[in-house]
């Protein structure tokens, strides 16, 4: 194992523990992957309890889903096909996080579109966050459902299921996930207090342009803030 692979294994374990700590993925929910090379990725193992995940438990597979090495007795996350769909369609993407952020997922349960225009960072750092139609977890259909959305979006909600955020690094994908959940929480809280007052129309146009100019949709460069 080379130094880079060892480093990435550690990063995946750290992020898995962070997701568990913050409630963005509970128990064995969610999965994380990172690109090792043009044709290989590291991904969290099937059924792994995220709070206790160790670097040596990560599974190496190629973009056809074959174990590397083939005789390994490790098994990748049951949702590895969703990750492979991202890497095949987006050569620029180096990391994928699928989580179950409760507030953001709750929006999909009632058919509420994600409120990307609620606060400035929603538009500058995330852009529009569409909800991908429901697909049975662990099936090839999940990857197929993503395809129409991947070219223009780095953050997606999965109907009645979870979220998908991608980036050039695991940290970037994690930041997008945390912003996603924070904005959903703000929307829930504001609706309990009163009627949400939207940002002025001209400010929305400006913020959208900032996000596009910085290449945030899809991800390039750094967001404001």
pLDDT digits (tens, 9 = 90+) for 42-51: 999 999 999 9
CATH of 3-213, one of 3.40.50.720, 3.30.2130.10, 3.40.225.10, 3.30.830.10: 3.40.225.10
Distance of CA 137 to the CA centre of its chain: 15
Residue 214: pLDDT band (50, 70, 90) is low
The pLDDT score that the predictor gives to residue 73 is 78
Whole-structure pTM over 0.85, yes or no? yes
Report how far residue 182's alpha carbon sits from residue 132's, in angstroms, rounded to the nearest whole number: 20
Query: Is residue 25 over pLDDT 60?
Result: yes
Q: What is the mean pLDDT of residues 11-22?
A: 96
The pLDDT score that the predictor gives to residue 208 is 78
Q: What is the mean pLDDT of residues 89-99?
A: 97
Complete DSSP assignment for 119-174: SHHIIIII---PEEPP--TTSHHHHHHHHHHHTT-SEEEETTTEEEEEESSHHHHH
> In the chain, pLDDT over 70 holds for what percent of residues?
93
The pLDDT score that the predictor gives to residue 36 is 96
- Edge to edge, the sheet with strand 95-99 lists 59-62, 40-43, 31-37, 95-99, 162-167, 155-158, 131-132
Q: Which one-letter DSSP state was computed for residue 217?
A: S
95, containing H or E segment: strand 95-99
Of 51, 42, 59, 41, the residue nearest 14 (C-alpha) = 51
The pLDDT score that the predictor gives to residue 219 is 44
95-140: pLDDT as tens digits? 999 999 999 999 999 999 999 999 998 888 898 999 999 999 999 9
CB-based contacts of 138, cutoff 8 Å, min separation 6: 78, 79, 81
Output b/e per residue, 147-169; b: 16+ Cβ within 10 A.
eebbeebbbbbbbebbbbbbbbe
Complete DSSP assignment for 23-65: TSS-TT--EEEEEEETTEEEEPBTT--GGG--GGG-EEEETTS
């Amino acid at each position: 194992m080379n130094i880079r692979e060892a480093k990435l294994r550690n990063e995946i374990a750290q992020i898995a523990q962070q997701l568990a700590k913050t409630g963005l993925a509970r128990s064995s929910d969610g999965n994380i992957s990172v690109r090792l090379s043009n044709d290989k990725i590291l991904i969290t193992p099937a059924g792994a309890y995220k709070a206790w995940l160790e670097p040596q438990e990560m599974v190496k597979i190629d973009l056809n889903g074959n174990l590397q090495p083939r005789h390994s007795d490790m098994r990748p996350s049951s949702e590895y096909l969703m990750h492979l769909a991202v890497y095949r369609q987006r050569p620029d993407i180096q990391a994928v996080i699928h989580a179950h952020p409760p507030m953001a997922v709750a929006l999909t349960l009632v058919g509420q579109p994600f409120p990307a225009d609620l606060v400035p960072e929603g538009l500058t750092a995330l852009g529009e966050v569409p909800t991908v139609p429901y697909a049975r977890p662990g099936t090839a259909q999940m990857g197929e459902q993503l395809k129409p959305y991947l070219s223009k979006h780095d953050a997606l909600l999965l109907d009645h299921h979870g979220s998908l955020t991608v980036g050039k690094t695991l940290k970037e994908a994690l930041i997008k996930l945390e912003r996603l959940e924070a904005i959903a929480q703000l929307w829930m809280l504001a609706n309990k207090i009163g009627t949400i007052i939207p940002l002025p129309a001209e400010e929305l146009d400006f913020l959208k342009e900032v996000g596009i100019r910085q290449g945030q949709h899809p991800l390039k460069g750094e967001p404001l803030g």
